[in-house]
Amino acid sequence: MTAPVIVEVREADAVAILTLNRPEKRNALDPGIIRALKDALDVIERDERVRVVLLEGAGRDFCAGADLAHIEAMVNASYEEHLADAGALGELFVRMRHFARPIVAAVHGNALAGGAGLATACDIVLASDDAWLGYPEVHIGFVPAIVMTMLIRSVGEKTAFELVATGKRIDAGEAHRIGLVNAVFSRHTFAADARAYAPELAGKSATSIGFSKRLLYELDELSFEEGIARGEEVNAEARMTEDCKAGVKAFLAAREAGETT
């Protein structure tokens, strides 16, 4: 049986590549692929060799969204059954949010509905210049409900509402302009560019990036004063790490030698 998610750990680069592997279904999200992603993240988080996760899709699309055949098969399900099914995707998004290391999405082709949500759940989104993103659920009377929590944080209220209310698809350039995508690369070199980006990020201080990710998302739940106080705590914790001690020492030595300004 073909694995719904392929896991490759590149120890030399400190990068784990997760590849959605349902190309015949345009990598549509069903219970199997959702469960496989959660299981993969659980394993990778225990692997000290990995500093960055790169999430990509096999075939012509990143992810076309929820598997509608699965939803149709649940036509006679109870509210509780539908809630449990939706909860699996919600749990994945929460798991990604609390994952200790950065997750980078490499979006090519289409990232629609839950597929756009999966990309948005990542910490950084890279896109090919021929990629399309969108939340077209309104066209079938559905709602991108689980995605909205992340979408509003990425693009703001009015832009988020326009995207979900119109269901329009936007190209990579527009997605970059509104803050849904961090960087856009040529379709001709995209795979190589994405796989070069992740190791560069992995080369940064793992403790610094870990602290930054945790604090950034914690601030969602805090008042201004609480956020400043929590920042003070993380500042103090970071100063005590070996990465910070070594980095400060190296910087000061370089400055004394006239190598920095």
CATH number at residue 28: 3.90.226.10
How many domains, the chain?
2
222 and 116: one domain?
no
E strand or H helix at 9, and its extent?
strand 5-10
Distance CA 188, CA 111 (A): 18
Last residue of a domain, one of 164, 186, 202: 202
Residue-range definition of the domain harbouring residue 245: 206-256
171 and 222: one domain?
no
212 and 138: one domain?
no
Lookup: tokens for 47: 């692997």
Tell me if 252 is assigned to some domain.
yes
- Dihedral over Cα of 53, 59, 65, 70: its sign: negative
Closest CA to 200 of 5, 97, 37, 54: 54
* Residues with catalytic roles: 137
Distance CA 216, CA 228 (A): 12
Last residue of a domain, one of 160, 186, 202: 202
Q: What is the CA radius of gyration of the chain?
A: 20
Amino acid letter for position 224: F
142 and 242: one domain?
no
Question: What local confidence, expressed as pLDDT, does residue 235 receive?
Answer: 79
Tell me if 212 is assigned to some domain.
yes
131 and 192: one domain?
yes
Listed in order, strand segments (DSSP E) in 39-148 are 52-57, 103-107, 110-112, 124-128, 132-134
42 and 156: one domain?
yes
Inter-residue contact 59 to 27 (CB < 8 Å): yes
Tell me if 164 is assigned to some domain.
yes
129 CB neighbour count, 10 Å cutoff: 15
Question: What local confidence, expressed as pLDDT, does residue 234 receive?
Answer: 83
CATH at 234: 1.10.12
Tell me if 261 is assigned to some domain.
no
Lookup: tokens for 260: 């920095």
Question: What local confidence, expressed as pLDDT, does residue 126 receive?
Answer: 98
- Which segments in the chain show pLDDT lower than 50? 261
122 and 23: one domain?
yes
Distance CA 144, CA 235 (A): 37
155 and 218: one domain?
no
218 and 149: one domain?
no
Tell me if 51 is assigned to some domain.
yes
Question: What local confidence, expressed as pLDDT, does residue 193 receive?
Answer: 96
183 and 228: one domain?
no
Tell me if 166 is assigned to some domain.
yes
190 and 117: one domain?
yes
Inter-residue contact 131 to 110 (CB < 8 Å): yes
Closest CA to 134 of 201, 75, 62: 62
Question: What local confidence, expressed as pLDDT, does residue 260 receive?
Answer: 53
Inter-residue contact 56 to 194 (CB < 8 Å): yes
Amino acid letter for position 169: R
Tell me if 52 is assigned to some domain.
yes
135 and 32: one domain?
yes
Tell me if 136 is assigned to some domain.
yes
Angle at which helix 206-218 crosses helix 242-256, to 10 degrees, equals 120
Question: What local confidence, expressed as pLDDT, does residue 124 receive?
Answer: 98
Question: What local confidence, expressed as pLDDT, does residue 209 receive?
Answer: 94
Cα 244 to the center of its chain, rounded Å:
26
The CA–CA distances, whole Å, from 231 to 151, 185, 247, 248 equal 24, 34, 20, 19
